[in-house]
Amino acid sequence: MATKTVELVVSPREPHFVGDGFRVHNFIPSAYRLDMQRMDPVIMMDYNSRYYFEPSEIPKGVGVHPHRGFETVTIAYKGKVEHHDSGGGGGIIGEGDVQWMTAASGVLHKEFHEKEWSKKGGDFQMVQLWINLPAKDKMSTPKYQSIENAAMSRYKLENNSGEIEIIAGEYEGLKGSASTFTPLHLFNAKLKKGATANFSFPNNYNTALLVIEGDIKVNSTEEAPTDHFVLMANDGEVFTIEATNDAIVLILSGEPINEPIAAHGPFVMNSKQELMQAFDDFNKGKFGYLED
Ligand code: MN
């Protein structure tokens, strides 16, 4: 099998706030190469790099807003988030946990720092992904998956040198518990200094890495420090990650859906007409009700 090479190493852009609770670097979509199609089905990535939030009696976050046509996946590395949606889904995710919300035909939701965590404050670090849905599933029923860290499958690397935590998809025969609409692998590689791990995905799968902690080398040559994003080329299947310091790396690889993308604000559909319909349905209250 051919080597999947590094196409681009991207440094984090200037952060901006989403609501008052998420200080994020946006990696996808960006004007340069990483548009919504390039990492399809991963159409958005916001990364709250490690950031200290002062204690606050009033939890910080993002108030009620709609989504339609895709899934939001929130991966918590530090801190705690509380989520509620108009479909009755909701819960608290803490360090290591993942919240997988399928907005599909439409939900209202709100995302805030968890109340007790907010009172104490602390380091906060999260990734939010938007995973696109194929046209045939965009108007399916919303659902919610809470994936606790303790329940995740783990592949132990040789000599106790680390582990691959499987959120979705499969690594060395171990399956992640998240259900996905299209083939998607989502892992956390936790590697001790000097450890290496090998990955293999079909060459048409759009593949990227985000260095959450530490420093890595990809294919023995390309260096990527903390908070950097590595876009892999679609030129081969296999690649290697080596931790040059203790590292945590988010690994994403998905089969492209290859359908037209029409996106505006919180809606991602296939055509302008469907977008207008989404705004119309939202304005008519068809996304349900959620208290502020
Ligand atoms: Mn949202």
Per-residue pLDDT of the chain (292 residues), as tens digits, is 999 999 999 999 999 999 999 999 999 998 678 999 999 999 999 999 999 999 999 999 999 999 999 999 999 999 999 999 998 888 999 999 999 999 999 999 999 999 999 999 999 999 999 999 999 999 999 999 999 999 999 999 999 999 999 999 999 999 999 999 999 999 999 999 999 999 999 999 999 999 999 999 999 999 999 999 999 999 999 999 999 999 999 999 999 999 999 999 999 999 999 999 999 999 999 998 898 8
Q: How many residues does the chain have?
A: 292
pLDDT of 241 reads 98
**CATH assignment of 6-254, among 3.40.50.1370, 2.60.40.10, 2.60.120.10, 2.40.30.110:** 2.60.120.10
* Ligand 1 center–CA 267 separation, angstroms: 10
* Ligand 1 center–CA 110 separation, angstroms: 7
Return the sign of the alpha-carbon dihedral for residues 8, 9, 14, 16: positive
* Ligand 1 center–CA 67 separation, angstroms: 7
pLDDT of 292 reads 83
* Ligand 1 center–CA 167 separation, angstroms: 20
* Ligand 1 center–CA 186 separation, angstroms: 20
* Ligand 1 center–CA 158 separation, angstroms: 39
Domain boundaries, the chain: 6-254
* Ligand 1 center–CA 173 separation, angstroms: 33
* Ligand 1 center–CA 6 separation, angstroms: 31
* Ligand 1 center–CA 80 separation, angstroms: 16
* Ligand 1 center–CA 209 separation, angstroms: 23
* Ligand 1 center–CA 65 separation, angstroms: 6
* Ligand 1 center–CA 119 separation, angstroms: 23
pTM over 0.95: yes
pLDDT of 222 reads 97
